[in-house]
Structure 1
Amino acid sequence: MKNFLYKNFKIKKELGQNFLIDYNVKNNIINYINLKENDTIFEIGPGFGHLTEFLFKHVKKLSVIEIDDKLTYFLKKKFFNKRINIFNKNVLKFNFFKYNTSNNLIRIVGNLPYNISVPIIFHCLSFIKIIKDIHFMVQYEVGNKISAPVNNKFYSKLSIFVQYYFLVKKIFKIDSKSFYPSPKVKSYFIKLIPRKKNIYKKININNFKYIVSTAFQQRRKILKNSLSKIFSENTLINLGINPFLRAQNLTILEYCVLTENFSK
C-alpha cells in the first residue's frame, strides 16, 4: 500500500512532508478526539488522506487544506462524490471565518509540517473565537515547549505566548516510525483548548510580547539585569516580583502584572 502510493510521488522536504501511516496511532487519535456527527472539522495537511479516511467516517462536515497540487488532485479523485471540501491552499493564508459555513465552533486537526508548526498555531489565534479545540501532531521539542510549566527547562516565551490563549495538553508521544518518510525525531499529539474566559488579565498584547521576549533574550541573567531597560529593581520589588529570579521563573500572571504596569 505504502509503496504503491509513494512510487510516483516525489516527497517535498521543503513542505515538511512526513505522512502518518501507523494504523494504531490514527485509531488512537480518532478515539481521543471523540468526534460527533455534527462536528465541523478542518484537517490541515491531509497528505494522501490516511487520517482523512478515519475522520470522514464520523462527521458530516469535513474540510481539508492541502498546499501540494499533486496531493490535492489525488485527494479529489480518492474522495470523489464524498462529503469533503478540499482546499488547495496555504494554511497560513487560510481564512477559517470565510470557509466555516456552519454555525458550529470548528475543530482543527492536523499532522503539522515541523518547519511551520509554530506559525500555524499562531495563525489559528486569529480565529480563536470560532475554535472549539485543536488537535495537532507536532515535533517532540515543540510539544514540550508549548506545554511546559513555569520553572521547567522547556519553559520559554513560546510556552507563555501559547498558554496565554490556550490550555495545552500533551496527549501521547508518536514514534518516528509511524511516519513515512521517518523524521529524525519523535512527535507529540497535543490538544489546544481556547481560553474563552481568559484567566489572565486583559493587557496590551504587544507590550506583553515585548516584555516576555526581552526577558528571554538573556534568560540566564536575573531579571533586574535582563529587564533593566524596562523596569528598575525597585519597581520589580514594588510589583511583588523578585528581581533575582530569571525569565523562566516567572508565571504568566506575573508577566501580565509587569505588562499592566508598563502600560500605565
Structure 2
Amino acid sequence: MYQINALNPKEEGHQARKRFGQNFLHDQRVIEKIVRAVNPRHDDNLVEIGPGLAALTSPLIGEVDQLKVVELDRDLAAGLPSRVPHPERLQIIEADALKFDFATLVQDKPLRVVGNLPYNISTPLLFHLVQQGVAIQDMHFMLQKEVVERITAKPNSKEYGRLSIMLQYYCKATYLFEVPAGAFNPPPKVTSAVFRLEPYAEKPLTAQNEKNFAALVAHVFTQRRKTLRNSLKGKLDEAGFIRAGIDPMARPETLSLSEFVALSDACVELF
C-alpha cells in the first residue's frame, strides 16, 4: 500500500501524493524486517514496485547484482540514483505497474517481486501479477492489514471470500507480520501487514474452465448469505450438487478451494 522512505519525505523535497497512494515508511526496524523476509541473494532477478524514496531500495540493492524498479511517479524515478548506494546496479522502469508486462524482465531466472501497493489498485495489480505467475518465483508486498487477512484467509472465517480463493488458486499465500500506522509519514488511518505470495509452478488444483470458475466464485460471494442452492438456482440442479459432492444448503464461506473447483466443474460454462 505504501511507498517506502527511511527519512522524512519533506526533508527529501518530495510531498506525498494522494493520487499515487504515497505514505512513506520511516521505521528502520520495519525496513530491516521486510528485507529479512525477502532474503535476497546476489544473483536474484529482483523487481521492486513503487520504490518511492528508496528506503527499501537502498538495503535491497546492496544485496543483489542488479535491482529493477517500476515507478510511475517521474519525480521519484528521477531522484532514485542519488538515493541508493550502488546506482550502477539500478535499472529504472518508468511505467504503470497495472499495464506493465513483467514477463519482459525475465532473463534466465524468474522474478522475485517486492513492493508496497496502493490500496486503490491492489486487487487488479495482484490479479495482473498472478496471471504472469509462470514468470514469478515469489512476491512480498505490504497492504492494508484487513486486505492481507482476506488474501490469506481460510474457510469458515469472515475474511474468507473471492480474493482468498482466487489468489490461493494461483499461489501459496502467507501472512508475515503487521506494520503499525505510526511507522509511516504521513501516518495512514489503517494498520498494514506484509505477506508473501508464491505462484505454483503447477497448480495443485485446476478447474476445467478457469473463466467459469472465476465467475462462479464472484457470483456466490455477491450473495454470501444465501445457500448455494438459492444463489445457483437455475444454474445447477440437485444432480449437479451430487456430482460435485457439495451440500446445496452450504454457504460459500464454508467451501474449500477444492470444493469450489468441483462445483465449477459441475456447472461448466453456465456463467
Superposition TM-score tier, normalisation by shorter sequence: over 0.9
Amino acid at match of 1:216: F
1:83 equivalenced with 2:89 (yes/no): yes
Pairing of 1:165-184 with structure 2 (within 5 A): 165-184=170-189
Q: CA deviation at 1:4?
A: 6.4
CA contact (8 A) 2:240 2:266 kept: no
Residue 91 of structure 1 aligns to a residue whose secondary structure is coil
- Which of the pair is proportionally richer in helix? 1
Relative to the length of structure 2, the TM-score reads 0.92
2-11 vs 157-166, which moves further:
2-11
Offset of residue 239 of structure 1: 2.5
Asked if the contact 2:244/2:265 (under 8 Å) is kept, the reply is: no
Q: Deviation of residue 153 (structure 1)?
A: 0.9
Secondary structure at 1:161's aligned position in 2?
A: helix
Change (3 A) 1:60 1:229: same
Where in structure 2 are the equivalents of 1:43-192 lying within 5 Å? Answer: 43-79=48-84, 81-100=87-106, 102-192=107-197
* Alignment of 1:30 onto 2:32: no
| Counterpart code for 1:83 | R
Q: Is the 8 A contact 1:56 1:62 kept in 2?
A: yes
**CA separation of 1:229 and 1:214: change in aligned 2, threshold 3 A:** farther
Unaligned residue ranges in structure 2 (runs of 5+) = 1-5
The count of residues paired between Structure 1 and Structure 2 equals 263
Shift of 1:166: 0.5
Aligned to 2:208: 203
CA contact (8 A) 1:44 1:66 kept: yes
Deviations 1:199-240 (A, max 9, x none): 113421110011111111110011110111311234213421
Q: Which moved more, 1:54-63 or 1:224-233?
A: 224-233
Structure 1 unaligned residues grouped into runs of 5+? none
Equivalence for 2:244: 239
Contact 1:107 1:134 in 2 (8 A): yes
1:259 Cα offset (Å): 1.5
Contact kept? 1:145, 1:158, Cα under 8 Å: yes
Inter-partner Cα distance in structure 1 for 2:244 and 2:9? 63
SS in 1 for 2:134: helix
**Using a 3 Å threshold, how does the CA distance of structure 1 residues 237 and 219 change in structure 2: closer, same or farther?**
same
Deviations 1:96-147, CA, capped at 9 Å, x for gaps: 12233x3011100001112111111111123211111000001111101010
Write out per-residue CA displacement over residues 36-63 of structure 1, whole angstroms, 9 at most, x where no aligned residue: 1111100001100000001011000211
Instruction: Supply the distance in 2 between the matched residues of 1:124 and 1:15 (Cα, whole angstroms).
Output: 19
Amino acid of the residue matched to residue 252 of structure 1?
Answer: L
Q: Hey, what does 2:3 align to over in structure 1?
A: none
Structure-2 separation of matches of 1:4 and 1:228:
55
Query: Is contact 2:105-2:111 (8 Å) kept?
Result: no
**Aligned residues of 2:9 and 2:15 also touching (Cα < 8 A):** no
Aligned partner of 1:261 in structure 2 is 266
For 1:68 and 1:199, the matched residues in 2 are separated by 38
TM-score for the superposition, normalised by structure 1: 0.94
Between the aligned residues of both structures, percent identity stands at 37
Name the residue aligned to 1:251.
Answer: 256
1:206-225 → structure 2 map (5 Å cutoff): 206-225=211-230
Moved more, 69-78 or 38-47: 69-78
State the partner residue of 2:20. 15
Q: CA separation in 2, counterparts of 1:224 and 1:115? A: 34
